[in-house]
């Protein structure tokens, strides 16, 4: 989300917090993304979109904790290391 659009809606605190976050450049490892999709399909985890696979790959690549309520990540974490909170 663009911090400027938050300012228009008066979400100043959230915009400030987003600006302060440490950012990691998104550099997809497509072989790992394909591997994640393969694990999903082999284990009956269906309809996981490319954006979710990229998020999981990015979190693994940079050893990041992933804050999510999305069940795809919970299911995926049963078959490979994925640091969820």
pLDDT digits 0-9 by tens, 32-84: 999 999 999 999 999 999 999 999 999 999 999 999 999 999 999 999 889 99
For residue 40, the enclosing domain spans: 26-77
Q: What's the whole-number mean pLDDT along residues 9-28?
A: 84
What residues does 66 pair with on adjacent strands? 84
pLDDT band for position 3 (cuts 50, 70, 90) = low
* Per-residue pLDDT, 9: 67
Six-digit token pair at 60? 């693994």
Q: Does residue 15 lie within any of the structural domains? A: no
C-alpha angle 71-64-67 in degrees, rounded to nearest 5? 35
Q: Does residue 42 lie within any of the structural domains? A: yes
Q: What's the whole-number mean pLDDT along residues 16-41?
A: 92
Domain total of the chain: 1
């Amino acid at each position: 989300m663009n911090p400027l659009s938050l300012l228009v809606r008066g979400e100043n605190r959230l915009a400030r917090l987003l600006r302060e976050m440490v950012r990691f450049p998104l550099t997809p490892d497509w072989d790992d993304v394909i591997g994640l999709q393969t694990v999903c399909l082999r284990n009956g985890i269906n309809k996981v979109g490319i954006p979710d696979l990229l998020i999981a790959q990015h979190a693994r690549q940079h050893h990041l904790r992933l804050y999510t309520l999305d069940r795809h990540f919970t299911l995926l974490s049963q078959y490979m290391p994925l640091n969820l909170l």
